[in-house]
Amino acid sequence: MKKALLALMLLATMSLNAQEFKKFRLGLAVSPNLGWIKPNEKDFDSDGVRAGIGGGLVMDVFFAKNYGITTGVQVMNVGGKVVNEGAGYSFKHTYKNQYVQIPFGLKMKTNDFSGFNIYGLFGVSFEYCFRARYDYRYEVAGITVSDSDLDAKDDDLARDLRMGLNVGLGTEYNIAGSTSLFFGLTYNNGIIGAYKNSDQGNGNTSTQGNLNYFALNVGVLF
């Protein structure tokens, strides 16, 4: 009888421990970012960063208290700049891409301390480019040719699909019940290039390259 009661208490304790964490969490995030392009041709260089912003739905599915899968659906506005300069000429491109992004990765977090926990994530993002605009400025022998807000997809400069490697670190703060605010930083490194080699003439030239960015993630989980 005592052994049966002991076994029952042990099972009850294990059941309570299993219910200590919420297995499914849904939330919203805003993600301002700084993006840059890494060209794949030696004649082109990155010309600095471009600021963008994104946001959308976040979903965490935990299979253990401190380990889970993070995913969601977000719209990201991100881009960068490239330049090709030499003796007597300069060519610059600024890209502004918009993606529907589905991230998928492993999320690991610490136990709570004073309402806080620290989390890290590692995974990939799958992205579809539904809008891509660009500006260019071409200067040679004192002559300048420029245009702005052109369609990079119509001009066959931007790829429809992009894939990135995500690495992130952040913190959550519990404000009430299962509701938490979170704040983190994610680095997204392009695995599949965002841009194509192309030469349309009239200075409208681009080079294949990868799009990378840092994103600041701020949001709430329920």
Give residue 59's Cα distance to chain centre: 15
What's the farthest any 2 CA atoms get from each other in the chain? 98
Whole-number pLDDT of residue 27: 98
- Banded model confidence at residue 108, pLDDT cuts 50, 70, 90: very high
Q: What is the mean pLDDT of residues 122-142?
A: 94
d(CA 183, CA 118): 10
Q: What percent of the chain has pLDDT over 90?
A: 72
Q: Which residue has the higher pLDDT, 100 or 39?
A: 100
What does R_g of the chain's alpha carbons equal in angstroms? 23
d(CA 191, CA 145): 33
What pTM was estimated for this model as a whole? 0.85
Q: What is the pLDDT of residues 11-49, one digit of tens each?
A: 444 444 444 668 999 999 999 999 999 988 778 899 999
Which structural domains are found in the chain, ordered by start? 22-221 (2.40.160.20)
The lowest-confidence range among 108-117, 183-192, 194-203 is 194-203
